[in-house]
Amino acid sequence: MTEIPDTDPHDLFALWYELASANEPADPNAFTLATQDQDGMPDARILLFKGFAKEGLTFYTNSHSTKGKQIANQPVAAAVVHWKSILRQVRLRGPVVQVSDSEADMYFQSRARNSQLGAWASDQSHGIESRDQLEAKYHDIEKYFGDGPIPRPPHWTGFRIEPVVIEFWKNGPFRLHHRRRFYKNDQMGWASEVLSP
């Protein structure tokens, strides 16, 4: 198995993602997002990313959620994308920025109508009395908007991890896996090094 090439990490991610999309049985865009609370305690959950470009990895969520508050308090994060079907993973970390309102609006309008209603109904990460209460709120909101357009809730937005480190991992024989770490080299672009497994 050839080693991971020293190339543009964004292009390499796109190549691996294309391969994963053809092989992964469900959600090739699933990733683990790690943040930390105000006491420095780590927190992690699995989300779906909605874009990976030169600027970074983009995902959308409720800014009032636990992760939204953690990002507001400490705007850094780490992420892991693991594709079991092709025995590869990508790790990245860096600062987190909020996307523009226009970008969030555009993505929100691309979502299924039921998902748009759900974004209004859910006070994500907050306690509720019962599931029935949540579903009743959903139906109330559904009646309120009727057949009209559903605007993006002000608390629903997108975030982008702007990576300063990206590591690619590929399974190898005898646990001699392939690893290459890319890191931002000031204003000169990306540098990389091969890592021992």
Catalytic (active site) residue 113? no
DSSP the chain: -PPPP-S-HHHHHHHHHHHHHHH-SS-TTEEEEEEE-TTS-EEEEEEE--EEETTEEEEEEETTSHHHHHHHHS-EEEEEEEEGGGTEEEEEEEEEEEPPHHHHHHHHHHS-HHHHHHHHH--TTS--S-HHHHHHHHHHHHHHHTTS--PPPTTEEEEEE--SEEEEEE--GGG--EEEEEEE-TTS-EEEEEE--
Radius of gyration of the chain from its Cα atoms, rounded to whole angstroms: 19
Task: Indicate which residue of 175, 179, 180, 181 is catalytic.
Answer: 175
Q: Strand pairing partners for 160?
A: 58, 97
Query: What six digits make up the tokens of 7?
Result: 């190339």
Helix pair 113-121, 131-145: axis angle to 10 deg: 120
Catalytic residues, by residue number, are 175
